[in-house]
Amino acid sequence: MSRFSRLSSNNAAFSSMLARFGVVTVMNARVYNIDDTFKFEDHNADQILLHYLALDPVCRLDTLKVANVTQEGPTKTVTGGQYANPLIKYGKTARLEMQDALGNAEAVEALCGGRVEYNDAGLTTRIALHVGSDFASPKLIIGDSFFIDQKSGEQIRVNIIFYQFLPDSLFNLTQDAEGDATVFDMNGDLLTTTIKVGNLAGNEVPHGEFYSIIEENGNSAEAPYAIEGKVGQEALTITANTGFTISIDGDTAAASGTVAVGQAARVQVFDTNNNVVLDTVIKNY
């Protein structure tokens, strides 16, 4: 039996929400290593989201207390005329500052410069968390949250994509028997990243962005494909999810395919209308 309510279920609700919206809660987040084989400048926000959703995150953040994005600028100002009025302003910087209510060893390693030690090669049993002078590499972060549509009062699900987050890699451990429970700071800079953005002519052109807010899962119910296997150790099996097919190196689109160890393959993902929703190269070495 079909079931219905007045809850919205399409991107018209997202579009309406962006006209006047409220932000009332913190995001949950997935943190990924940057995939060097996937070029940001060749893809739009939806495509970048779908690509990373098919990968395994290095950690998940689901106990955040705050996640604040701030900007500063300009870094340069051109002045002129009799009154030395500002004529051109250029340059912004952005930061993402997060506080986690609970410690998370994988998050400390990914964002705070820590190092998790295990007693097995499969990295399943943690035996120590080391904190030293290491710095973490840039990470891509996908946040899951909801905004409130002022017109309807509905919760509209959104994804926030932080394309390149360069952590400060600082870990402060506060121990206080009488004060509030400690929180764990995970702060860093957002790097300007070139992605494809639509213009008035309907074309996608390169443009630098710190982050993007888009409809949850890029207008798709799920990521278009999943990858199974250990990179460089065994063949990677790439399986299309419901509503998609994939082509490996130009082969006829099918439900699944493989990339052998030591090889790279061009992977194209098609929707039910045979439109290419993702075109990328996956390396297995």
Which residue type does 238 have?
A: I
The tokens describing 242, both together, are: 């419901």
> Higher-confidence residue: 242 or 176?
176
Give yes or no: residues 42 and 173 share one domain.
yes
Whether residue 241 contacts residue 14, with contact meaning beta carbons closer than 8 Å, is answered with no
243, 198: one domain? no
pLDDT at 2 > cutoff 90: no
In the predicted structure, residue 64 carries a pLDDT above the cut 70: yes
- Percentage above 70 pLDDT, the chain: 96
Q: Are residues 253 and 284 in the same domain?
A: yes
Whole-model pTM? 0.80
In this predicted structure, what is the pLDDT of residue 145?
Answer: 95
Tokens of 129: 């968390």
Q: Are both 250 and 137 inside the same structural domain?
A: no
Regarding whether 137 and 276 lie in a shared domain, the answer is: no
Q: Enter the tokens of residue 10.
A: 């399409």
Q: State the total domains in the chain.
A: 2
Portion of the chain with pLDDT greater than 90, in percent: 58
Hey, is 239 helix, strand or coil?
strand
Q: Do 228 and 124 have their domain in common?
A: no
Q: Which helix (DSSP H) or strand (DSSP E) does residue 266 occupy?
A: strand 264-270
pLDDT tens figures, 20-34: 999 999 999 999 999
Model confidence at 10, pLDDT cuts 50, 70, 90, reads low
On whether the CB atoms of residues 246 and 271 are closer than 8 A, the answer is: no
What contacts 139, CB < 8 A, 6 or more positions away?
Answer: 31, 32, 33, 34, 58, 110, 111, 164, 165, 167
- 109 and 42 in a common domain: yes
Looking at the fold, whether 154 and 199 belong to one and the same domain comes out as yes
Question: What is the distance between the terminal CA atoms of the chain, rounded to a whole angstrom?
Answer: 49
What are the tens digits of pLDDT across the range 132-145? 999 999 999 999 99
Structural domain harbouring 105: 11-72+92-221
Q: Is 52 helix (H, G, I), strand (E, B) or coil?
A: helix
